[in-house]
């Protein structure tokens, strides 16, 4: 349920409401707006009696049920955008951050090269999988711990925060030690044990949409993370399965404005995996930004033809540079700020 405080309520009244919420075994989420303070009380199905109890507390204006199955992710509980901060800038609330790098960390040289040029072209985050979820058990599975160490070195050298995928609950602690943000892949988007495990970590989570997930299911997956106390979640639309076979997946551009009408969480677009081919990546990336995305996560490789995974969709450096040039112009027209690293 959502508790709307009266205008001019006192701090003591707010504290009492929070204490009462905890007393009945619910989780409080305070959201202070300019005009009103809202307190989400998150728990299972509040009874009319419980709602009446809160209505009677001093300083409370109204108690209303939250209509959506997801609570902490909803705009009802937090009616303003979540803005996440990284050393290179922000994402959300008009700030756009672009993460880029290879699909997988393959070598020190490959990753450092990519890190240097994505930074030079204005990316605010380095991506690269150290643990790769592959459809075939015989395909390149990533360098594991060695890959994490390479990412850490790339961060030390460039100052770019790094995002990398975590595949299982057991891996969360290790990956969180090295990464600035944890990626949950499309194939794990409903791995509830994994979602709960990253919910215990104090690092941002990039949650990819599962390839056959509805937007409501996507938000429920985010809710699994939020409900464990980690409010730093970024939703990533990365294409869904449709009858179309030309592209690898169908980028659901509409997911961006639709999600934003339901949630305060930043919404990003991954144009690489739906495209499947590099020639289609730039237009999909621009479409994502035009639709209102707060960030992109793009695959680029110093020598894409030699990549050990997703070779066909990774951009060459010059193509990534072109994407960044176009993105900057588009964001200017949209009155948005690109969070870029300080070069030097």
**Least separation, in Å, of the C-beta of 210 and ligand PEP?**
9
Q: Is 301 in the site for ligand PEP (CB under 6 A)?
A: no
For residue 6, give every residue at least 6 positions away whose Cβ sits within 8 Å of its Cβ, in sequence order, or none: 59, 60, 61
**CB 328, CB 124: distance < 8 Å:** no
Structure tokens at 244: 């179309």
**Least separation, in Å, of the C-beta of 226 and ligand PEP?**
20
**Least separation, in Å, of the C-beta of 295 and ligand PEP?**
14
**CB 16, CB 57: distance < 8 Å:** yes
Specify the 3-state DSSP secondary structure of 79: coil
**CB 159, CB 88: distance < 8 Å:** yes
**Least separation, in Å, of the C-beta of 234 and ligand PEP?**
13
**Least separation, in Å, of the C-beta of 104 and ligand PEP?**
7
**CB 114, CB 104: distance < 8 Å:** no
Alpha carbon 150 to chain centroid, angstroms:
23
Specify the 3-state DSSP secondary structure of 308: coil
Which among 2-10, 67-75, 180-188, 257-265 is the span making contact with ligand PEP, rule CB under 6 A?
Answer: 180-188
Specify the 3-state DSSP secondary structure of 217: helix
103, 151, 255, 284: residue in contact with ligand PEP (rule CB under 6 A): 103
Pick 2 or 160: Cβ nearer ligand PEP? 160
Instruction: Say if strands 27-32 and 84-86 run parallel, antiparallel, or are unpaired.
Output: unpaired
Site for ligand PEP, residues 123 to 142, rule: CB under 6 A: 129, 133
Q: Is 103 in the site for Mn ion (CB under 5 A)?
A: yes
Site for ligand PEP, residues 183 to 202, rule: CB under 6 A: 185-187
First to last CA, the chain: 50
Pick 88 or 313: Cβ nearer ligand PEP? 313
Which among 101-109, 154-162, 192-200, 240-248 is the span making contact with Mn ion, rule CB under 5 A?
Answer: 101-109
Q: Is 208 in the site for ligand PEP (CB under 6 A)?
A: yes
Site for Mn ion, residues 304 to 333, rule: CB under 5 A: 310
- Rounded-to-integer distance, Cα 248 and Cα 239, Å: 8
Site for Mn ion, residues 271 to 310, rule: CB under 5 A: 310
Specify the 3-state DSSP secondary structure of 256: helix
Binding partner of 119, given Mn ion, ligand PEP, none, CB within 5-8 angstroms per partner class: none
Q: Is 251 in the site for ligand PEP (CB under 6 A)?
A: no
The count of other CB atoms within 10 Å of the CB of residue 137 is 6
Binding site for Mn ion (CB under 5 A): 103, 310
By CB under 6 A, name the binding residues for ligand PEP: 103, 129, 133, 185-187, 208, 238, 270, 273
């Amino acid at each position: 349920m959502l508790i709307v405080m009266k205008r001019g309520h006192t701090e003591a009244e707010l504290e009492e409401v929070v204490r009462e919420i905890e007393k009945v075994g619910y989780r409080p989420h305070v959201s202070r707006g300019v005009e009103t303070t809202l307190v989400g009380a998150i728990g299972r199905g509040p009874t009319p009696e419980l709602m009446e109890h809160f209505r009677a507390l001093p300083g409370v204006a109204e108690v209303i049920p939250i209509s959506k199955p997801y609570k902490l992710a909803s705009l009802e509980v937090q009616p303003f955008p979540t803005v996440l901060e990284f050393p290179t800038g922000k994402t959300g609330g008009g700030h756009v951050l672009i993460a880029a790098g290879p699909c997988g960390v393959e070598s020190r040289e490959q990753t450092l090269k990519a890190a240097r040029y994505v930074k030079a072209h204005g990316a605010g985050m380095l991506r690269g999988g150290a643990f790769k979820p592959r459809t075939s058990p015989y395909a390149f599975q990533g360098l594991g711990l060695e890959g994490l160490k390479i990412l850490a070195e790339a961060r030390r050298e460039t100052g770019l925060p790094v995002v990398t995928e975590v595949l299982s609950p057991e891996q969360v602690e290790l990956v969180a030690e090295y990464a600035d943000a944890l990626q949950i892949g499309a194939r794990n988007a409903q791995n509830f044990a994994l979602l709960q495990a990253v919910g215990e970590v104090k690092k941002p989570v990039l949650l990819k949409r599962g390839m056959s997930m509805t937007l409501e299911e996507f938000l429920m997956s985010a809710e699994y993370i939020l409900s464990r106390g980690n409010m730093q979640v970024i939703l990533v639309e990365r294409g869904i399965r449709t009858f179309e076979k030309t592209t690898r997946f169908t980028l659901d551009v509409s997911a961006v404005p639709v999600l934003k009408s339901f949630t305060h969480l930043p919404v990003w677009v991954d144009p690489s995996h739906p495209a499947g081919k590099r020639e289609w990546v730039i237009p999909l990336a621009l479409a994502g930004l035009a639709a209102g995305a707060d960030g992109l996560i793009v695959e680029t490789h110093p020598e894409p033809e030699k990549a050990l995974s997703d070779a066909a969709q990774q951009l060459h450096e010059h193509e990534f540079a072109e994407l960044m040039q176009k993105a900057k112009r588009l964001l200017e027209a949209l009155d948005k700020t690109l969070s870029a690293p300080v070069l030097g």
